[in-house]
Chains A and B, each alone.
Chain A
Amino acid sequence: MPKKVLWLIIIFTILFIIGVNSGELGFLMNMGNTI
């Protein structure tokens, strides 16, 4: 597997983990009601 894609996967995983642990999941959960 090329290193470039491996780094991208690691960066996106870290971003996701940061987002999940930020406590902002509620925002996403409520969107179903707003649209």
Chain B
Amino acid sequence: MKYCDEYRDPQIAQAIAGRIANATTRPWVLMEVCGGQTHTLMRYGIGDLLPDSIELVHGPGCPVCVTPLELIDQAIRLAAIPGVTLASFGDMLRVPGSSTDLFDVRAGGADVRVVYSPLDALKIARDNPERQVVFFAVGFETTAPANAMAVWQAHHEGIANFSMLVSHVLVPPAMRLILQSPSNRVQGFIGPGHVCSIMGFGEYHDIAREFGVPIVIGGFEPLDLLEAISMLVAQLEEGRAEVENQYSRSVEYDGNLPAQNMMRTVFSVVNRKWRGIGEIEESGLVLRDEYAAYDAQRRFGLESLEVREPAECISALVLQGQKKPVDCAAFGKRCTPMTPLGAPMVSTEGACAAWYQYKRHDLQHA
């Protein structure tokens, strides 16, 4: 398959892995930021190709995982209102709220739909003027422009029965939080390739400089990740802490300016709570006042819910790379993808779910 197979060649992978092994003289702890990168690393078993002295830890970049429980409960509440159609990406439907999930609400008669684009949700609104259509907008900077575009279009076409439950988060504040922690172990980052396709990578220079940590913007195919690891190891071994771009076929320095403009037109930056981590300053997006009429929380008068989450899982530490999924006593026992206890087990891009899905036999029989 063109544009995929080139980046999945096992022989080239072995060659890069050999280069990494030759270059590595000390132990290094590297974090991949994105859930998509975590999934590829696990699916292809990239860790098995690396020298033992390189430890990969998984970052907080699974948008489904870090969406606060309160928001999921709000979505479930919205979906249960007669006359409301709730649309979101498929993975969001599986995520358990505090007592149920969207599949179950759908089974109870609610109109819950899986869409591939927010513009599909807008189309549902256009085609069904008698229904209130709410799009549950989750994700990082990657999905924000398209979601902004849907609100912008609704506004310009006067589609009054469309609104959005916004739970957008931003990558750089989460990276800063990880680096500020006294117990941080991360020495180098594989940066978020798709986020940077939108945002460029200018803002990562400050992080690299401030914390003395190398960042290589990486892609999502096995060879992308191996090459990014190789570039990180080279920087670490040489004592450099720079921002480099491995994913140059997609990422440019300035990113996608029209997409950024659309984001800024519709959204503004606010403090936001991350599931499993807590509130992070200026880490989320919210609809600007001009578009507040499309805010589902306001339209339906959803009061902010306070959900207490019992303390059993270690997701906060997993999401910040301080613990591995297998360090958790509940992993694979009380906590599985069928009965997720915590954020990283709910989506296939979550670190715990990826471990469970692809690697748990190593653990059982280690």
A binds B: no
B residues engaging A (CB < 8 A)?
A: none
